[in-house]
């Protein structure tokens, strides 16, 4: 696989909605044989320094990364940035604005959930979020599970938190071109995350890919925790047709909530050009 045996280019720590601290993510990845890992917390880079420190001197190369929330055609799209300068001033400022929007959204979500009879959701979700600036729907879902109302996080999403459900609130995230621009401005490579997860028509998906590439987006997740084998094949075809770099991405959040462990994804189809072909010759430190 172009110099790396087991790359995993998308995962979360407790700086967003993952369960492990950044250093623990690196330790688990190492134990699983990952040799190239990107930590990609939602709208947040505050875990990168801890992850870099944990990876130093080990067999694992840590790529600073981020997963940026974007609004597109009424759907939330995620753009992963890889090998970013996580101190880039424009990127840092943009992510701070996105996190401020999250706090405001969390209040509105809590109000909606209260209308459904679920009380104390904001305090409950905040208590579960290790980063006060990063309350995600996952924290709301975990709180609702903790009250005993629902058996698991997936059921909470199906009933309350997925798009259009009673606890869902509309929210304006970033603009696609801006998100790709912040990543590129920080020296990074932009990758479209889990494309099969978006509820877009064929026309809308084409427009998304056209605009993503026109903005300078270069990669797409093909193999990952979010994709079935059929979805993997579908987006392998997209990568071939559009000459996109292909990524392999567990999207690991924690053992209880992730189908695929760190480094546990299937290999990429052999003929695709892997995203990490870009990272083979580059020096380890910037
Ligand atoms: P947010 O960025 O706050 O809207 O939260 C999105 C996060 O919620 C995702 O990154 C997942 O961690 C989690 N999530 C979204 N949909 C589901 C689902 N159907 N089941 C479980 N977790 C989900
Ligand atoms: Mn998440
Ligand atoms: Mn995502
Ligand atoms: Mn993710």
In a domain, residue 69? The reply is: yes
Mean pLDDT score across all residues of the chain = 96
Report pTM: 0.97
The CATH number assigned to the domain holding 28 equals 3.20.20.140
* Structural domain ending residue among the three candidates 115, 138, 161: 161
The residue range of the domain holding 27 is: 7-95+172-285
Residues 220 and 186 in one domain: yes
The CATH number assigned to the domain holding 141 equals 1.10.150.650
Predicted local confidence at residue 285, as pLDDT: 45
Residues 155 and 121 in one domain: yes
* Structural domain ending residue among the three candidates 112, 129, 161: 161
Residues 31 and 12 in one domain: yes
Residues 13 and 142 in one domain: no
Residues 128 and 236 in one domain: no
Predicted local confidence at residue 281, as pLDDT: 61
Ligand nearest to the Cα of 134, by number:
1
Q: Is the pLDDT of residue 150 over 60?
A: yes
Residues 182 and 243 in one domain: yes
Rounded average pLDDT over 188-196: 98
Which residue's structure tokens are 């050009």? 273
C-alpha–C-alpha distance, residues 6 and 253, integer Å: 18
Give 243: exposed, middle or buried? Use CB within 10 Å, 0-12, 13-18, 19+.
Answer: exposed
Ligand nearest to the Cα of 78, by number:
3
In a domain, residue 116? The reply is: yes
Residues 180 and 274 in one domain: yes
Predicted local confidence at residue 1, as pLDDT: 45
C-alpha–C-alpha distance, residues 160 and 91, integer Å: 32
Q: Is 41 in the pocket of ligand 1 (CB under 6 A)?
A: no
C-alpha–C-alpha distance, residues 25 and 215, integer Å: 31
42 CA → ligand 3 middle, Å? 8
Predicted local confidence at residue 127, as pLDDT: 98
Residues 189 and 271 in one domain: yes
Pocket test for ligand 1, best of 136, 160, 162, 163 (most atoms within 8 A of CB): 136
The count of structural domains within the chain is: 2
Residues contacting residue 264 through CB under 8 Å, at least 6 positions apart: 32, 225, 250
What are 27-64's pLDDT values in tens digits? Answer: 999 999 999 999 999 999 999 999 999 999 999 999 99
């Amino acid at each position: 696989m172009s110099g790396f045996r087991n790359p995993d280019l998308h995962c979360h720590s407790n700086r967003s909605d993952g369960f492990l601290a950044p250093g623990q993510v690196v330790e688990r990845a190492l134990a699983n044989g990952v040799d190239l890992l990107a930590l990609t917390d939602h709208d947040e880079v505050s875990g990168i320094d801890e992850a870099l420190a944990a990876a130093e001197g080990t067999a694992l190369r840590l790529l600073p990364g981020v997963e940026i929330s974007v609004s597109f055609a009424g759907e939330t799209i995620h753009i992963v940035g890889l090998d970013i300068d996580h101190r880039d001033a424009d990127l840092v400022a943009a992510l701070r604005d996105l996190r401020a929007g999250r706090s405001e959204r969390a209040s509105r979500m809590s109000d909606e959930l209260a209308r459904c009879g679920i009380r104390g959701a904001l305090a409950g979700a905040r208590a579960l979020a290790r980063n006060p600036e990063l309350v995600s729907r996952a924290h709301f879902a975990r709180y609702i599970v903790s009250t005993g109302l629902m058996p698991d996080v997936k059921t909470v999403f199906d009933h309350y938190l997925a798009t259009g459900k009673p606890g869902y609130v509309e929210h304006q995230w970033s603009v696609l071109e801006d998100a790709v621009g912040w990543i590129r401005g920080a020296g990074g490579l932009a990758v479209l995350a889990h494309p099969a997860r978006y509820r877009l028509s064929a026309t809308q998906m084409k427009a998304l890919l056209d605009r993503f590439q026109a903005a300078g987006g270069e990669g797409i997740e093909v193999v990952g925790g979010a994709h079935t084998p059929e979805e993997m094949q579908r987006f392998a075809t997209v990568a071939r047709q559009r000459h996109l770099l292909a990524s392999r991405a567990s999207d690991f959040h924690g053992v209880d909530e992730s189908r695929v462990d760190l480094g546990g994804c299937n290999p990429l189809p052999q003929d695709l050009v892997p995203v990490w072909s870009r990272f083979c010759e580059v020096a380890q430190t910037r």
